Structure 1
Amino acid sequence: MAQNDKQPVKVAVLDLYNGIENEGMRGIREILERYRVKNELNLTYEVFDVRKKVEVPGTEFDIYISSGGPGDPLESEGSEWEKKYFKLVDALEDHNLSNASQKKHAFFICHSFQLMCRKYGLGAINMRKSPSFGVLPVHETNAGRNEPLFDGLADPFYAVDSRFWQVIHPNEKRFIDLGMQLLAIEKERPYVDLPRAMMAVRFSDYFFSTQFHPEADAVGIRSLLLKEDKKKEVVSEHGLDKYNEMLERLEDPDKITQTQNTIIPNFLDQAVLSLQEI
């Protein structure tokens, strides 16, 4: 059977970078391309510039991946693009709660994670004392150890963290009331009396999110770490030894390469398998 004769899989990529140069969109595209070729799928994707051009897709896609992005996740409240963005999220949720056999799967990354946590009231959002950037350990919670999307990862696993803002102080009552799960938290910092950020949340059987960047690859992050401003940022926050250790981690196939090859591909496996079962 030719690839184009196979059941089509349509992916919408929601670009929240607001026109800012980034590595995230390249990472998402490359994961989708590799996944399409490896699994010989008739998979296509379309990119929507949500923030800059106020482009938001409808519910006709099978899979949605919403990117990271710059800026304050609180200041967009009430903006035109955010209203349309959350209208889409609500429509996807309504579809998934209906008796429709084909559910809509969505993955939310970093800025998107923060917006969704605000929407659901899952925790407090504030600006960090200093930006977090680098290859850092992420610790699974008890629920996270049973999360299929983490299958194949160590605990802790390593991921790219790049954020000025954070979601902290999980609201346990909201998690319980909404049936959501906190799956991973920030690395422990015993020498700093600060709360550990929430790093991964499962909103439902079909919605998954991370505050780190599972799409990031070693090539892109190395190029960023070698820039003088990023080097100063990391050294100021973590010290020169940790900076050099991050560069070494990029060479380790069990670190962010493993994360990039695991989480989003596992998500796509779940979504595509559910489509094929229809």
Structure 2
Amino acid sequence: MKNDVRIALLDMNNNHPNQGMRNIKELSKAFQEQSEYEVSVELFDVRYKNEMPNIEDFDIFISSGGPGNPHREGYEWEQKFADFLTQIWEHNKTNEQKKYLFLVCHSFQLAVIHFGIANVCKRKSYSFGVMPIHKTEDGEKDFLLKNLPEPFYAVDSRAYQCIEPNDDKINALGMKIVALEKIRPTIHLERAMMAVRFSDEIFGTQFHPEADPLGFIKNLEDEKNKEAMIETFGMEKYLETIDRMDDDDKIVLTRAQIIPRFLQLASEQITKNLVFG
């Protein structure tokens, strides 16, 4: 039987151990099990094995976070991923049956660079923890964010940031910045972009909407991780992160909203356009 909805998961972790891919797989599996549609899920190891889905074979793509520099370093997968972004963008311009793409963290940075909509540069210090994320006016209305409070909370884990948006280019391409990083009144630095609505079908977040409390706390219970975090951020920040982990209105809510709503909306649009013989 032909699957109604075909999901491709792009693992961008370059064989590094991580919680994010496990979380994305879990959310996809939960959707697959609960969905009224026939759903298939296939995994592609983009950076480590140079695997890349053929966009014609799938309807929905979720591309994960991952380590390292988002700027080109000469790897084969980099051009493949750029071509993949171009193909989806071009396909959606000319086809009624759209392709849906969700970009997380590293993948989000790659897309920001690809479309040339902001400056992606290294942060002064590594950002790590459960952070407040602020919706813009456009974000308040966005289907994926509108059920979240202002601010909402998400796991932030990044060495790079997307700042100095090119508003002319963003407007010309029909994109919208839908979330910004926390307001820091004492620090005179530009607030980074935290989420972008690239198009009706393409959405990206700098933060990790897939993160679950258990996995994150497990990471922090590891003595090495705990010591590293306390050394970098201090005991207060460490305890604050642990404290915010299990709150129903923080990352639990973010995880339950953003990617599940993306999958649900995309599936509804895809199956609406299916022609049954």
After TM superposition, the score normalised by the length of structure 1 is 0.93
Q: How far 1:75 sits from its partner (Å)?
A: 3.6
Q: Does 1:61 align with 2:66?
A: no
SS, match of residue 249 in structure 1: helix
After TM superposition, the score normalised by the length of structure 2 is 0.93
2:10 alignment partner AA: L
Q: 1:147 aligns with which of 138, 142, 145?
A: 142
Q: 1:70 aligns with which of 67, 70, 76?
A: 67
State which drifts further: 231-240 or 149-158: 231-240
Q: 1:20 — aligned with what?
A: 16
Q: C-alpha distance in 1, partners of 2:45/2:131?
A: 29
Q: 1:206 — aligned with what?
A: 201
1:62 alignment partner AA: D
Q: Does 1:221 align with 2:234?
A: no
Q: C-alpha distance in 1, partners of 2:87/2:123?
A: 33
Q: How far 1:58 sits from its partner (Å)?
A: 0.5
1:101 alignment partner AA: E
Q: C-alpha distance in 1, partners of 2:166/2:268?
A: 33
Q: C-alpha distance in 1, partners of 2:159/2:131?
A: 15
Q: C-alpha distance in 2, partners of 1:277/1:159?
A: 32
Q: 1:191 aligns with which of 160, 177, 186?
A: 186
1:51 alignment partner AA: R
SS, match of residue 108 in structure 1: strand
Contact kept? 2:85, 2:111, Cα under 8 Å: no
Q: Does 1:182 align with 2:182?
A: no
Contact kept? 2:128, 2:158, Cα under 8 Å: yes
RMSD (Å) for aligned C-alpha atoms: 1.6
1:142 alignment partner AA: E
Q: C-alpha distance in 1, partners of 2:228/2:176?
A: 32
Contact kept? 1:134, 1:234, Cα under 8 Å: no
Q: 1:88 aligns with which of 84, 91, 109?
A: 84
Q: 1:253 — aligned with what?
A: 248
Q: C-alpha distance in 1, partners of 2:44/2:240?
A: 36
State which drifts further: 227-236 or 123-132: 227-236
1:66 alignment partner AA: S
Aligned pairs, number: 272
Q: 2:152 aligns with which of 157, 161, 168?
A: 157
Contact kept? 2:32, 2:39, Cα under 8 Å: yes
SS, match of residue 122 in structure 2: strand
Q: How far 1:232 sits from its partner (Å)?
A: 4.2
Cα deviation code 1:95-132 (max 9, x no counterpart): 1111x321000000000000100011111111112111
Q: How far 1:237 sits from its partner (Å)?
A: 5.2
Q: C-alpha distance in 2, partners of 1:145/1:244?
A: 30
SS, match of residue 14 in structure 1: strand
